[in-house]
């Protein structure tokens, strides 16, 4: 039997540059995408109003941006793992 959490919150494999901050951001990004999907489905089916869906998505986006900033993703795009520029 499939684990309920794995079914409800699937995780894709990460193929990018393996660094702790990249792995954490990838997990945050996948969680963001999953929650956006749920919100869109609830709004489309009429379970929540469009304004509420918008506010929830806006809050999730702010959290993802904060995560990116705190993890330093994209700040030094040409820096290698050894700290040197390419």
What is the predicted pLDDT for the residue at 9?
Answer: 67
| pLDDT over 80 (residue 7) | no
**Residue 35: half-sphere exposure toward Cβ, Cα within 13 Å:** 17
* pLDDT interval class at 13 (50, 70, 90): confident
CA distances from 22 to 7, 31, 35 (A): 24, 14, 20
What is the predicted pLDDT for the residue at 32?
Answer: 96
**Residue 6: half-sphere exposure toward Cβ, Cα within 13 Å:** 3
* pLDDT interval class at 43 (50, 70, 90): very high
Q: For 19-23, 46-50, 53-57, 76-80, which range has the lowest pLDDT when averaged over its residues?
A: 76-80
């Amino acid at each position: 039997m499939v684990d309920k959490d794995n079914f409800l919150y699937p995780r894709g494999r990460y193929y990018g540059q393996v660094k702790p901050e990249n792995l954490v951001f990838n997990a945050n990004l996948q969680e963001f995408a999953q929650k956006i999907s749920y919100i869109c489905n609830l709004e489309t089916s009429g379970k929540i109003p469009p304004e509420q869906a918008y506010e929830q998505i806006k809050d999730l986006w702010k959290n993802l941006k904060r995560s990116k900033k705190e993890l330093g993703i994209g700040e030094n795009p040409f820096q290698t793992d050894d700290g040197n520029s390419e």
